[in-house]
Amino acid sequence: MRTVSFDVYHNGREWIAENDELTITGRTLDELDENIKIRLREVLKSGQVKVTMELDYRRNVPHWIWQYHPYYFYRTLFFDLD
């Protein structure tokens, strides 16, 4: 099983998942999940994939609260691209 990791943030209009190779967007988290699956199917073609996402809290959470929330959320998805 291959693992693909993304940083996730919201720009006020849509969710954005990005890493060094891909940037994928969606208006909702469900749409983002589906768009990630579609894009990974294009790139990887087939196989099982574990997708990990970590909210980039530096872009979404006010600086003064960072000390209380060293992370905001993690998400893990599993896709069978076959």
Per DSSP, the three-state class of 74 is strand
Res 51 pLDDT > 80? yes
Note the pLDDT of residue 45: 85
Q: Each residue of 1-36: pLDDT tens digit?
A: 899 999 998 888 999 999 999 999 999 999 999 999
pTM of whole model > 0.75?
A: yes
Position 69 scores a pLDDT of: 62
